[in-house]
Amino acid sequence: MRSHLLRFIAVPLFAILFANNAHSQEVLDTLAHRPDINYVKINDVFFEATRAKQHGDVLKAMELFEELAKLDPKNPVSFYELSQLYADDRKVDKAEANIKKAVALAKDNKWYSISYAAILAGQGKYADAAAIAAELADKENGDASYAGQAADYYERAKDYRSALKYIDKALVLGSDEDLLVMKIRIYLQMKQYDKAAEVGQQMIAADPRNIRYYKLLGDVYESNDMPEKALKVYQDANKLMPDEPLIEIGLADGYLKMKDTANFRKYVRKSVTSPRLETATQLQFLYVYIQSLKESEQTSEGMSILSVLLQQHPDDPKLLSTYGDFLASDMRIDSAIVLYKRSIALKASDFEVWSRLLNAYAFQNNSDSLIKYSEKVMRLFPNQAIVHYYNSLGHYNKKEYQPAVKAMNRAIDMLPDNDTKKQAEFYSMLGEIYNAAKQFAESDKAFDQSLKDDPQNASVLNNYAYFLSERGERLSKAKEMSEQSLNLRPNESTFLDTYGWILYKMGDYDKAKENIEKAATNPRADGTIFDHLGDIYFKLNNRAKAVENWKLAKQKGAPNPLLDKKISEEKLYE
């Protein structure tokens, strides 16, 4: 049984070559016996037209064939050639007009007729195309291709009964996989699922070790919401071909639909870890499997399977980087970095793995490695904005502000103009760097640009407001931005802290305490929140509560260098 594409392939226009040398000479020879035409002139024009066509000079070829048609309007060759040239040039009306003339002059020429059908089909006139192909099929009983072409056009025209008639006509001359698949597809369109399944069963009976036929039959049953029968198809196939991964995938899918979780996992693992599959296919199946699991199970199950795959393919860069991703999601950053580096050593051209390596170093706050490896990546991928962003971040964390500014500006310059979200993010980071460098005018300018690009970015609104409050500048604007950030993300602890701190700077200690106490109830509240709360209590003349919160701030790692002094002297220092 032959294996082709799933849909019967229409004969492309450019492949229907009627005017080959032998036939052309035969046509011209007949002209010599016609005294009504100038044979020499026609001969010259014909060969000039053919030469122009062969050299790709379409306009000249069209012009010459048009001249030939005028010299001898009873010769179909020029009209046929013009139809092909106009079809290739997407001038379908002219193509159709010329092929109609060719067919009218040579009614028995099957090449002209099938070309006419193809031109009609190219315009979506499937019923008309099918009628022409069907007429050819009825005349040429020994050639299955015409019947198959008629079936294809009838299917496209949604005349399914006629399509089935010509499929059967073609199948009389020999079995063909494309036609059988078309037949199944048509029965499914007609919702005649039993008949579709019958064809699938016939295909399996003819070639019982063809895995794709089981998949085809399984899909037929799935289309009819018959998961039990679909599962039975794969169970039968598994008995005949045990340890065949594509069959096991079908089994796994069937068991999943039957809610048999144990067998689902069993067959997924067997199929995904089968050494008979290529790595890319193993990963494809793995991703599908992982997505079917609960989120709490995904990482451990993924790493379990990946460890088996890496034993099979220890030097596959994609497997290494994918395992690194799972390790990173499990917060095992050091191990992820090792695998990213191994992957890069095998395939240095994979930018995505370099990017994940840099992200891992950024997560660790490993500034030296972040700078070192971002500089390596710059040499390989100099136009990737994110690489310069990471380089800037490394310098910023080391308080090397001028290189950080330079790298961030490079990153911004490389961003596409329409990526306003990313521009807002980068300008916000530039604002933080300038603020740390005490270049406040430049900082404000960067934050203003960030909010121009993304006015509803709650994090940028909060950070800008906080920096203004720390400087004690433009507090009304800071308060307005902080309120806006809380409207966007209510009850965010750091946002509440910012708002409370602005109120503190404005002298409204009671409202400041109310907001920062609310922020402190968050289990993840950081030391700065308690440091601020201690300052507020001190202003409210509650020294004991002030010291209590300063001590909590120290336990939680607040970065204030005056914290020890405040605790030991029980006094506020700002």
The amino acid at 444: D
Which of 45-49, 313-317, 350-354, 382-386 is the least confident region?
A: 45-49
Per DSSP, the three-state class of 364 is helix
Per-residue model confidence (pLDDT) at position 108: 86
* Backbone conformation region of residue 210, classed left if phi is above 0, alpha if psi is from -120 to 50, else beta: beta
Distances in whole angstroms, Cα of residue 319 to Cα of each of 268, 351, 518 = 18, 15, 46
Per-residue model confidence (pLDDT) at position 9: 31
Report the 10 Å Cβ neighbour count for 51: 13
- 176-186 pLDDT, tens digit each: 899 999 999 99
- 331-387 pLDDT, tens digit each: 999 999 999 999 999 999 999 999 999 999 999 999 999 999 999 999 999 999 999
Structure tokens at 99: 């092929």
Per-residue model confidence (pLDDT) at position 25: 46
Which of 45-54, 124-133, 439-448 is the least confident region?
A: 45-54
> Is the pLDDT at 26 greater than 50, yes or no?
no
Taking the CA atoms of 110, 70, 47 and 86 in sequence, report the sign of the dihedral they define: negative
Higher pLDDT, 501 or 12: 501
Q: How confident is the model at residue 149 (pLDDT cuts 50, 70, 90)?
A: very high
What is the percent of the chain where pLDDT is above 90? 68
Q: Which of 212, 163, 171 is nearest to 187 (CA)?
A: 163
In total, the chain counts a number of residues equal to: 574
Q: Which domains does the chain have, with CATH numbers?
A: 295-364 (1.25.40.10), 366-455 (1.25.40.10)
The amino acid at 146: Y
Q: Which of 352, 299, 307, 350 is nearest to 327 (CA)?
A: 299
Report the 10 Å Cβ neighbour count for 476: 10
- Residues 380, 514: Cα–Cα separation, whole Å: 53
Per-residue model confidence (pLDDT) at position 268: 87
Query: pTM to 2 decimals?
Result: 0.68
Q: How confident is the model at residue 294 (pLDDT cuts 50, 70, 90)?
A: confident
Given a contact cutoff of 8 angstroms between Cβ atoms, the answer to whether 327 and 336 are in contact is: yes
> Is the pLDDT at 478 greater than 90, yes or no?
yes
- Mean confidence (pLDDT) of the chain: 89
Distances in whole angstroms, Cα of residue 120 to Cα of each of 60, 80, 139, 164, 257 = 25, 14, 20, 21, 44
If you average pLDDT over residues 118-131, what whole number do you get? Answer: 93
Given a contact cutoff of 8 angstroms between Cβ atoms, the answer to whether 130 and 122 are in contact is: no
3-state secondary structure 182-213: HHHHHHHHCCCHHHHHHHHHHHHHHCCCCHHH
Q: How confident is the model at residue 324 (pLDDT cuts 50, 70, 90)?
A: very high
Q: How confident is the model at residue 291 (pLDDT cuts 50, 70, 90)?
A: confident
Q: How confident is the model at residue 392 (pLDDT cuts 50, 70, 90)?
A: very high
Per-residue model confidence (pLDDT) at position 5: 28
- 193-213 pLDDT, tens digit each: 999 999 999 999 999 999 999
Per-residue model confidence (pLDDT) at position 35: 54
Q: How confident is the model at residue 15 (pLDDT cuts 50, 70, 90)?
A: very low
Residue 13 DSSP one-character state: G
Taking the CA atoms of 35, 37, 41 and 47 in sequence, report the sign of the dihedral they define: negative
Per DSSP, the three-state class of 42 is helix
What is the percent of the chain where pLDDT is above 70? 93
Per-residue model confidence (pLDDT) at position 38: 66
- 237-254 pLDDT, tens digit each: 999 999 898 899 889 888
> Is the pLDDT at 30 greater than 50, yes or no?
no
Structure tokens at 498: 């910012």
Per-residue model confidence (pLDDT) at position 7: 33
> Is the pLDDT at 23 greater than 50, yes or no?
no
Per DSSP, the three-state class of 544 is helix
Higher pLDDT, 456 or 12: 456
* Backbone conformation region of residue 56, classed left if phi is above 0, alpha if psi is from -120 to 50, else beta: left
Per-residue model confidence (pLDDT) at position 1: 34
Q: Cα dihedral angle (365, 366, 369, 375), rounded to 10 degrees?
A: 20
Per-residue model confidence (pLDDT) at position 140: 84
- Residues 67, 73: Cα–Cα separation, whole Å: 10
Given a contact cutoff of 8 angstroms between Cβ atoms, the answer to whether 559 and 532 are in contact is: no
